[in-house]
Each structure stands twice: as C-alpha cells, then as structure tokens.
Amino acid sequence: MSGYQLSESKSIAMMKLLALCFFAISLISIPIAEARIRHYKWELKYEYKSPDCYKKLVITINGRTPGPTILAQQNDTVIVEVKNSLLTENTAIHWHGIRQIGTPWFDGTEGVTQCPILPGDTFVYKFVVDRPGTYLYHAHYGMQRESGLYGSIRVALPDGESEPFAYDYDRSIILNDWFHKSTYEQAAGLSSIPFQWVGEPQSLLIQGKGRFDCSAANPPMKADVCNNTNPECSLYSTTVVPGKTYRLRISSLTALSALSFQIEGHNMTVVEADGHYVEPFVVKNLFIYSGETYSVLVKTDQDPSRNYWATTNVVSRNATTPPGLAIFNYYPNHPRRSPPTIPPSGPMWNDIEPRFNQSVAIKARRGHIYPPPATSDRVIVLLNTQNRVNGNVRWSVNNVSLNIPHTPYLIALKENLLRTFSQTPPPEGYDFKNYDIFPVQNNTNGTTSDAIYRLQLNSTVDIILQNANTMNPNNSETHPWHLHGHDFWILGYGKGKFDPINDPKKYNLVDPIMKNTVPVHPFGWTALRFKADNPGVWAFHCHIESHFFLGMGVVFEEGIERVGKLPSSIMGCGQTKHLLKP
C-alpha cells in the first residue's frame, strides 16, 4: 500500500467525521456566502408606445420601457445577452455605478470602452456587482438613452447581513423627462448650423408613465397619435399598506431636467446615495439630478382613507413642462382613484439655495465612513462652458470640447493604436486670473479634441468642477457629472469662483459621502477626490444627454498595462478591424 492510500476502515471513519461536520454546520446555520450567476437575455427593439399618451417610437427591452430591474446580491456575476434588433441603429449599454473592476471592457461606453453593437448582433456583458446598493443601466450610444433604453439595478446584501436601517418593503422608481421628437432628430438638430436646441421636455415620467395633455396640443393631434384615455398612459400607482416603512429607491435618468420629487403629506428620510449609506436626514422635496440614485424611507402614517400624489417638478431651468404625477395608493383604496387634492406645487425653479443645502447635507453615515486620503497627488480644474466651435454650439471643459474617436480608447491604448487620437494632453485648468465666470465671454470660441487625461495608477486625484455663465446673459446651468469606474469623495461645494488657496482648507475630510454622480450648481464649484485604482479607460461627463453629445466630458486612463486581454467582442470598428482574426 502506498503512503497516499488510506485503509478502508480509515476512509470510512473519515467519511463519518465529514458527515458529522456537515451536520453540525447545518445545525448552526452559518450563512455560506455563495455568489450566483444572474443571467438575462434581452432583445432591443423599436416599438410604438404611448408612455405619456403621445404615440412615438421607443426602444424596448423584451417589450418594456423602463426595462426589467436587474436583481442581484453582492458579488454575484451578472450576464446580460443583448440582441440588437433595432434594425438600423447601433447600441451599447452602460452599467451605471458598477465599477467593472477587472472588466473595464464591459463598461458599455461606446467609443471609450467598446465598439458599438451592430444591428442583428448579440453582445454578452459579464461583470461582478461587488457592492450592495441602487444602480442603473442605460444606453451609452449617442443620445439613445432618452429613447427609453434604461432600467434599475438593485444589489442586495449577502444572506444574513442587514442594512443599517429598517424597512418593510423595497421599491425602485425611476424618474425621467420625455421628449416627443426622436433622438435622431434631436441629435441632428444639435449638430446643425443654425443650432436647433431640443427645448424643454413635453412631459415628466415616473416609472415610465406620464401625462401629456392631448387636448392642449397645437396643432391638434388625432386620437391615434395622442389619446388621454389610452390605458397605456394611466399614471404609475404604487400600493402601500398603512403603518409600514417603505424603502423607495428613487433614481433619475432625465435627458435634461433637474427634478424635485415629493410625496404629498409625507416626509422622506434619505439613507442611501449612489450605493453609499447616508447619515439620515429628512426632506420634503428630494432634489435629484440625472444619474443619481437615492434610497429614502417613507412611513405610511397619513390618513389611510385616501390616496396621495407623488410628483416631480423641473428645477434649475425655467421649464414649461407640467409636473410628473403618480399615485401613492393607500390600500385598500382603488389604485387609480385620484387623490382629493390638487397636486402640491414644486419649489421655485430658480431658488438655488435649497438645492445647494441638500448637496451639502449629504454625508457618509456614521459607522460607514471611508475617509479620503488627506492629500492629493494632482489637481485638475475643469471649467464648464458653452462655446461656439466652427459655427456649432458646443459644451466644453477648459474651452476644449470632447470628440469621441471611432477607435475606442481602451482598445487603442491596449493595442498601441496611438495615432487614432491626439497625444497632446488636455489642459489641467483654465486661465484662472483672467477668466470671469459671471458674464458672457467676449470671445466664446472653443476648440475640439479627442485627447485624454492619463493618470498615475493608484494616485489620488482632485477634480474641481467650476461652473460659469453660458452664452446667454445671467445664465448658468446645473450639470450633473458622472464618473465611470469609480466612486469619488465629495470634498465640498462652493459659490462663485473656486479659491485654490482658501477653499481646500474647508474641505470635508472627516465624513464626505462617496458618489458616482454629483451636481455642479449654477455659478458654483464642486470639489471631488478619487483614487485612480481601477485599471482601464473611464469617461467622466455631464449626464445631460445633449451636453455630453455636444462635447461636455473628459476621459481618464489609468494602469492600461494592468488591463487583461481584451475580448474580441468589443472590437470591429475604426482601427480595431484588423485586430479581428478571421
């Protein structure tokens, strides 16, 4: 008998011991963290739908917009097979808030991390959801998101772990604005001379439902185009049981609008922002910007004999858009029964103060604080402006408007196709001494570039977003900036021009919240810090569809040499064609 073989009696004894161990473990029922695979098969199509009673072509996922909610647990692997059946349009899907650690090629950002998915093709995304929280997915190809290609991702804690707050029920609600013109018509207008602005949205949607008043349309619309009795556009209604606590995961994927959300007669306690626990605070109106997600706790403690309005209102722009309406339905009232009141009006659109105050109020929750590094290795100041470039209206940072090249950066950098984009680094700041952020500039002209910022792997980077006047007098807009591949600490917000000597002294280094999307308020600044610790190439851009389309973004590269072998599925466009072996 060799020394490696066990005698029969010994092996039986071992088996008995093993069985006993398993039995003991099952008795004490320690949860064994088991990461699962969540497999989704999606087909994207253009279909006629009437989300706000007006019939138009929208992009559906398996027949629906918003698409299905991805439900997963921390550390699960999500696999989404996307079949592009859009007939004549490319696509790509971004997993908003998922950092794609180790899989930068599945970030879904066309032109940055992948080639577009061609009509008729199926693309398989595969990534790990490594943190619990509320996230989103949406198209990241041109301005396609606003055609309706979006949905929620909800990542639960592993079995046996619990949140630092209690609730009875959990709901996801996506807020949106809605335009009747097609995405394509809008994009063509924005690229035209003279400039054709998209204007204000025709309606606001709550979980994919809204209400455009067909009778007010001028010229009048026929009933097969716009019909307010169409059941497809009956308002979203969410049924609640009196005396309970609801966790509402409120997120915004508006194309343009900043929103205020409220539930008539109910306070909301903010407990999560972009997947991070917030030191709880109470609001009546929740201000929310495109790309942000929040969890709020709502107690159903009001008169249970009636329903209540849930409303959204546009803030920060002087919009003509009517409020978004939904019904907060107290069981057992009928879910479609209109509340007996007129919907509450929203805050003043141009009152920056409460919005600024909410931003400042969001801090990391005690016991869940990840303090930032005390200092940074590099400070990049990004001046946000509207410019004219060769007769086109564009948005720029430091007077440079981003043009995304046809060869995605990730592939170009990894495969040494460096001639596909400019190697002249973009500016680290703007003419601080001479640039006045308050008036319209005498010379608003800017330039375009496809250059990117290359960051030292594992370095700490500060970003100062500096807002300014647009090309219209006395006008500065709110821009929600979204960073791919990372979360950042929000070190501070300020009014006016950022002072590089004194303002950093006021940074919150104690309990800053981490987020992936943050507003820069009109004529203000926002200071962020992040660690460039995720090898890949990552977009950082204004989440307003038309602004990013018009160049309002930058791209960061870090640790490209640490990126693993790229899957060939992301290739096939621009100079990557020759990389595909027959």
Ligand X SMILES: O=C1O[C@H]([C@@H](O)CO)C(O)=C1O
Where on the chain is the footprint of ligand X (CB under 6 A)? Answer: 197, 386, 470, 472, 477, 546
Please report how close the Cβ of residue 476 comes to ligand X at its closest, in angstroms.
11
Please report how close the Cβ of residue 112 comes to ligand X at its closest, in angstroms.
22
b/e map 439-465, b = 16+ CB within 10 Å: eebeebebebbbbbbebeeeebbbbbb
203/52 Cα distance (integer angstroms): 7
Tallying the residues shown for the chain, one arrives at 582
Residues ≥6 apart with Cβ < 8 Å to 364: 276, 277, 278, 279, 370, 511, 512, 513, 514
Residue whose Cβ sits closest to ligand X: 197
Encoded tokens for 125: 């995304």
Please report how close the Cβ of residue 206 comes to ligand X at its closest, in angstroms.
23
Please report how close the Cβ of residue 288 comes to ligand X at its closest, in angstroms.
18
Please report how close the Cβ of residue 289 comes to ligand X at its closest, in angstroms.
14
Please report how close the Cβ of residue 472 comes to ligand X at its closest, in angstroms.
5
The tokens 């943190």 sit on which residue?
Answer: 131
340/130 Cα distance (integer angstroms): 45
Report the residue number, 60 or 186, with the smaller CB distance to ligand X: 186
240/436 Cα distance (integer angstroms): 51
Instruction: Give, in degrees to the nearest 5, the angle at Cα 467 between 464 and 471.
Output: 145
Three-state DSSP class for residue 329:
strand
Please report how close the Cβ of residue 482 comes to ligand X at its closest, in angstroms.
17
216/523 Cα distance (integer angstroms): 36
> Which residue type, as a one-letter code, is found at position 403?
N
Encoded tokens for 526: 């926002």
Three-state DSSP class for residue 580:
coil
Report the residue number, 400 or 566, with the smaller CB distance to ligand X: 400
Exposed / middle / buried, residue 48 (Cβ in 10 Å: 0-12, 13-18, 19+): exposed
Report the residue number, 293 or 470, with the smaller CB distance to ligand X: 470
Please report how close the Cβ of residue 210 comes to ligand X at its closest, in angstroms.
21
165/297 Cα distance (integer angstroms): 9
Please report how close the Cβ of residue 245 comes to ligand X at its closest, in angstroms.
39
Q: Where are the alpha helices (DSSP H) in 456-562?
A: 545-549
The end-to-end CA distance of the chain, in Å, is: 54
Report the residue number, 198 or 571, with the smaller CB distance to ligand X: 198
**Nearest Cα to 493, choosing from 520, 465, 526, 516?**
526
Please report how close the Cβ of residue 318 comes to ligand X at its closest, in angstroms.
10
Query: Could you give the C-alpha distances from 379 to 267, 453, 461, 464, in angstroms and in order?
Result: 39, 12, 6, 7
